[in-house]
Amino acid sequence: MRVAGLFAGIGGLERGLARAGHDAALLCEIEPAARAVLEARYPDVPCPEDVRTIAALPVDVDLVAAGFPCQDLSQAGRTAGIGGLRSGLVGEVFRLLEKRRAPWVVLENVPFMMQLAGGKALDHVVSALEALGYRWAYRVVNTLAFGLPQRRKRVFIVASTVADPADVLLVDDADFREPPTRLGEQAHGFYWTEGVRGLGWAADAVPTLKNGSTVGIPSPPAILLPDGRLIQPDIRDAERMQGFPADWTVAAERVARASRRWSLVGNAVSVPVAEWLGRRLATPGSYGGDRDREMPGKGWPAAARFDGRRRIAVEIGEAPVVLERPPLHEFLQYPGKPLSERATAGFYHRARKGSLRFPEGFLDAVAAHLDRVRGGAAVPVAAE
């Protein structure tokens, strides 16, 4: 297929689709650092800055792909909803589809859009697709099942005027379970900026790589290694955790601070997830309806479809496939930066004051790291 990638970011969705045989005919991205990456990686593809200036889709476009901005929909963001300044830009996708209905549409966003304001954001999106004559299916998918050590759940919406999207999105289902916590044997990721109400704990993985704070400060996770060291991963390993080659975003440093690369990576679509989707678009399966269920009276299920007449819940997991992956501590290829004394002390203080329950031995490991970075000064250990 010929693809128009709107809100393309650093091209994660487009790179995955390309690995499945689809070609980018048009990219669109307004953020300067992301544009610098696209210009370096896709130098021959037209890339207008603002989706609002695109008069119409190219006539040869078969697929519109849009990971539209999530800042107004995420728990970490402003939660302004689908009417927010950024996330409301999905309306530009529908404007272009009104002028020319591309046969296929792929949209991606955070699962919180299914809950925010009672699910109004998701209802807005699928209702607009229905009004344009599309059948649709959506599903929450977890990057962790795709051979990458990152627990990252995203909702993918596939819509079509020429086929049943369920044959693309809902035919693959694999048995997948997240690994248990095993301190001293595996690495474990968490957010050192939290510690009172949340942690983002991930066993043998990192929690979801994020855009950063609401004021644009990067927020890399911390990793507790099996040997007890606490590090922040190198940006090149973060790129690899999204399925990109190391230094995919290095061109961003021509126009922005190096730390901006963390936000670019945190905003991206995981490449192997997009590749799986692209392969199913090229070779659909056959969804038989055996997973169909009644829609709940309130809220949205983790997967659903619209067959042209009615909305139907679908009982299916978050792992279409399960790909082998190395342990997190073996996946890392670049030396991480030790978590600083200030960051460690701040987290440790919040964790001891809060009411969160932590895996046995975790706070002891944090205290030991703090002792090391302070040069041996004793750190009181949290009471059991």
Catalytic positions: 70
Tokens of 195: 């510690």
What is the distance, to the nearest Å, from the Cα of residue 144 to the centroid of all Cα atoms in its chain?
11
Under 8 Å between Cβ of 272 and 278: no
Are residues 350 and 192 in contact, defined by beta-carbon separation less than 8 angstroms?
no
Report how far residue 8's alpha carbon sits from residue 16's, in angstroms, rounded to the nearest whole number.
12
Q: Put the strands of the sheet holding 230-232 in their side by side order.
A: 202-203, 188-190, 222-224, 230-232, 337-338
Contact between 243 and 270 under an 8 Å Cβ cutoff? The reply is yes
Per-residue tokens: 23: 């070609």
CA distances from 60 to 23, 29, 56, 98 (A): 11, 20, 11, 16
The residue written with tokens 């962790």 in the block is 144
Q: Are 86 and 127 in contact (CB under 8 A)?
A: no
Backbone angle region of 286, left / alpha / beta, with phi > 0 → left and psi within -120 to 50 → alpha = beta
Q: Distance (Å, rounded) from C-alpha 323 to C-alpha 321?
A: 6
Angle at 121 between CA 118 and CA 122, to 5 degrees: 90
Give CA–CA dist 213/148, Å, rounded. Answer: 24
Q: Is 90 left (phi over 0), alpha (psi -120 to 50) or beta?
A: alpha
For residue 343, give the amino acid letter: A
DSSP 8-state class, residue 51? G
DSSP 133: T
